[in-house]
Amino acid sequence: MKEFELKYGCNPNQKPSKIFAKEGELPIEILCGRPGYINFLDAFNSWQLVKELKEATGLPAAASFKHVSPAGAAVGMPLSDTLKQIYFTGDIELSPLACAYARARGADRMSSFGDFIALSDVCDLSTAKLIQHEVSDGVIAPGYDDDALEILKGKRKGNYNIIKIDPNYVPDPIERRDVFGITFEQGRNDIKFDDSLFENIVTNNKELPEDKKRDLLIAFITLKYTQSNSVCYTYDGQTVGVGAGQQSRIHCTRLAGNKADNWFLRQCPKVLALPFLDSVGRADRDNTIDLYISDDCEEVLADGVWQKFFSTRPEVLTKAEKRAYLDTISGVCLGSDAFFPFGDNIERAVKSGVGYVLQAGGSVRDDLVIEAANDHNLVMACCGIRLFHH
């Protein structure tokens, strides 16, 4: 297939629309559905992300993409019983790839609603069973087991978007795009990441365990495919907060930090014990939990509201309780797609349990940022690499 006609572009009024290969064939097969313009943007960006995660870590990887930025990304680490509960995995026996997708989807379940999925490995039955029960637009993978493909083809009344990509495809090193009738050209961002990222540790604390190197790698590879400015918090083999597309870096750090806080708070005892009615579906549970752990907790517990979701009225989760729970969190990793211009980013990050930081460095205020990191005994590496993505 050399080209594929799309229903429309980013919006219904943007016609005609298609994807095509300037030379040779497209490196994909469409096995089901009719992916759209934004679907393909999500598919091709997310595929690059999981491919590079797999190359860097040696583990199966998955990503959950929305609006050309990752809502979550992860590698195939086993899930604890708590994570199985908050990720709604049920009694499915989880393969490493299924663990990666459960983590990617579970990083920010509200943002992942209606996601596009990328898988680094052939989609197996275990992973397909997880995808089957989530609201999603489509999936891209290097292949699909027959039983997995049968399940996926049954989604969305047989219109679920399933893309198979050639894992050996290598794009042209020069990329181009047109904006306002003007053609932009640049070298493709083919930078690869390894332990050399951590050679320049600038803080007094230089103890960087191997699992934290892995999590910082996940953060940086995720940032490579996140709309700038961007900041990413990672923990235990997955993203837990991605802040994308903010004009101010501190706003990125706050946004991603708030998402990380929510991810951890979903695991606190009061949330795990919420007495949901059996009739309440996953999306409504996610939305209700988000309200419950927010400053609007009273809203969801108001008379006439809580009865829609719970069998009994839960106790309020107070600000003091949330802060006390979050103060128990440590060992979180943080990556930034460019340097931190002020120490306020560090001060915000430590409130979410950050102990390890990877950033470009190069700010005229690097000394102040390093001082802030030292004040909290953080490990911070400055690698000199900027990852703006637009």
Angle at CA of residue 276, ends 239 and 327, nearest 5°: 40
Residue 298: per-residue pLDDT: 85
What are the DSSP calls for 264-280, one per residue?
Answer: HHTTSHHHHT--B-TT-
Residue 295: per-residue pLDDT: 85
The closest of 273, 264, 277, 339 to 307, measured between CA atoms, is 277
Per residue, what are the HEC states of 147-189?
HHHHHHHCHHHHCCEEEEECCCCCCCCEEEEEECCEEEEEECC
d(CA 353, CA 376): 11
3-state secondary structure of 332: strand
d(CA 345, CA 251): 9
**Which position among 39, 45, 161, 229 bears the catalytic label?**
229
CB atoms within 10 A of CB 343: 17
**Which position among 22, 157, 192, 390 bears the catalytic label?**
390
| Mean pLDDT (10-residue bins), the chain, 390 residues | 92 94 93 96 97 96 96 97 95 96 96 96 98 96 98 95 97 93 94 92 97 97 95 98 94 96 96 95 93 87 89 93 96 95 94 97 92 97 93
d(CA 80, CA 56): 24
Residue 377: per-residue pLDDT: 97
CB atoms within 10 A of CB 302: 10
- Helix (H), strand (E) at residue 61: strand 61-66
Exposure pattern of 99-118 as b/e (b: 16+ CB <10 Å)? bbbbbbbbbbbebbbebbbb
3-state secondary structure of 233: strand
DSSP 307: G
Query: What pTM value is reported for the model?
Result: 0.95
Domains and CATH numbers, the chain: 3-165 (3.40.140.20), 182-265+326-382 (3.40.140.20), 273-316 (1.10.287)
390 is catalytic: yes
Which segments of the chain does DSSP mark as H helices, in order?
A: 37-57, 81-86, 96-106, 125-132, 146-153, 210-224, 249-265, 269-272, 282-292, 297-300, 319-326, 344-350, 366-375
**Which position among 66, 155, 224, 389 bears the catalytic label?**
66
Here the tokens at position 317 are: 């989760």
229 is catalytic: yes
251 is catalytic: no
- Do residues 42 and 65 touch, judged by C-beta distance below 8 A? yes
The closest of 265, 256, 244 to 328, measured between CA atoms, is 265
d(CA 42, CA 347): 33
For 182, counting Cβ atoms within 10 Å of its Cβ (0-12 exposed, 13-18 middle, 19+ buried), the class is: exposed
The closest of 72, 87, 112, 68 to 218, measured between CA atoms, is 72
376 is catalytic: no
**Which position among 67, 133, 270, 376 bears the catalytic label?**
67
Interstrand relation of 354-359 and 332-336 (parallel, antiparallel or unpaired): parallel
For 247, counting Cβ atoms within 10 Å of its Cβ (0-12 exposed, 13-18 middle, 19+ buried), the class is: exposed
d(CA 222, CA 387): 10
Residue 307 is which amino acid?
Q
